[in-house]
Amino acid sequence: MIVAIDGPAGAGKSTVARRLAERLGFRYLDTGAMYRALTWLAMYRGLALDQGDRLAELAEQHPVELSETGRVSIGGIDVTASIRESRVDRLVPVVARHPNVRAVMRRRQRELAEAGNAVVEGRDIGTVVAPRAEVKVYLVADRAERARRRMAERPGIGADALATDLRLRDESDAARMQPAPDAELIDTTGLEVEDVVARIEDLVRARQPA
């Protein structure tokens, strides 16, 4: 079974998806980490980020590896920590925008998602990567709450810079931020992680054979 968890940055996807996967005993697949790893490698190699063909080639040659313990590697380098740096935050939408990069990523994401039960987190999972996912959830939260959560994750960055980053990322991600028509919309503002997880778990149990 595939559980698709989509939504904008700061809506609570990662925390919820990871916890849900643990509870269900499913694999957790963070597709944002894949775009981040590719962005990191392109920057490391000094590639121009406006060249979709070169970036797609790079993605093809260096598939992102996601370990069961949550480590992320690309080209044999462990990038788990570096992909969370703010320079990657800022540049990943530039890389993720190229259709040929997305085509390579999508193929790899489908391969990984289909290898058994998985909770898959991203922006376009329920619409494009796994349109036949048995459970689709689209998480939202108000912007102030999303900025607060980001601040907790990125303590070194000021509130204004974070709010601007969030707005710019929303704008660049907007094309892919459509909930699937059959997705369950959950507003996580003011909700505890465990409450959100329990709601999605109910949806999963309802789809599982008795």
What are the residues binding ligand DC (CB under 6 A)? 9, 31-32, 35-36, 92-93, 96, 122-124, 169, 173, 176
In angstroms, give the least distance from the CB of 205 to ligand DC: 25
Query: Residue 93 or 209: which CB sits closer to ligand DC?
Result: 93
For strand 72-74 and strand 77-78, is the pairing parallel, antiparallel, or unpaired?
A: antiparallel
* Euclidean distance between CA atoms 86 and 130, whole angstroms: 29
Taking the complex as a whole, the smallest distance from the CB of residue 94 to ligand DC amounts, in Å, to 9
Nearer to ligand DC, 26 or 169 (CB): 169
- Burial category of 148 from C-beta neighbours within 10 Å (exposed 0-12, middle 13-18, buried 19 and up): middle
The DSSP code for 82 is G
Rounded to a whole number of angstroms, the minimum distance from the CB of residue 152 to ligand DC is: 15
* Burial class of residue 208, CB neighbours in 10 A (0-12, 13-18, 19+): exposed
Beta bridge partners of 184: 137
Angle of CA points 185, 188, 192, to nearest 5°: 135
Which is nearer to ligand DC, 5 or 206 (by Cβ)? 5
- Give me the least distance between CB of 189 and ligand DC, in Å please: 18
Nearer to ligand DC, 32 or 75 (CB): 32
Which residue's CB comes closest to ligand DC? 32
Q: Of 174 and 202, which has the nearer Cβ to ligand DC?
A: 174
Give the Cα separation of 186 and 20 in Å (integer). 15
Q: Cβ of residue 27: shortest distance to ligand DC, in angstroms? A: 16
